[in-house]
């Protein structure tokens, strides 16, 4: 299971054995804009580790951090 900490909402998680791809919507916490496309993370994300990335909001220009915690 993966937990959205910051800047995103998980729409599809890895399967029960921890394989597969995490899909997530990118959400700007400054203005609430939800990007139309989804981000994907296919690398390993083990329990207690955090996947970090960022995007620039096309609406307000905020540099939004994304954090997903492996659980």
Question: What does the binding site for Zn ion look like in residue numbers (CB under 5 A)?
Answer: 28, 30-31, 33, 57, 59-60, 62
Nearer to Zn ion, 53 or 62 (CB): 62
Q: For the CA atoms of 40, 20, 3, 34, what is the dihedral angle to 10 degrees?
A: 30
We find the least distance from the C-beta atom of residue 48 to Zn ion, in angstroms, to be: 30
Instruction: List the strands of the sheet with 8-12, edge to edge.
Output: 8-12, 22-27, 34-41
Nearer to Zn ion, 44 or 58 (CB): 58
We find the least distance from the C-beta atom of residue 34 to Zn ion, in angstroms, to be: 10
């Amino acid at each position: 299971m993966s937990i959205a900490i910051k800047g995103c909402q998980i729409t599809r998680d890895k399967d029960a054995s921890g394989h597969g791809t995490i899909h997530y919507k990118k959400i700007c916490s400054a203005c609430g804009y939800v990007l139309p496309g989804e981000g994907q993370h296919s690398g390993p994300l083990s329990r207690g580790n955090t996947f970090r990335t960022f995007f620039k909001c096309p609406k307000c220009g905020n540099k939004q951090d994304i954090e997903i915690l492996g659980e």
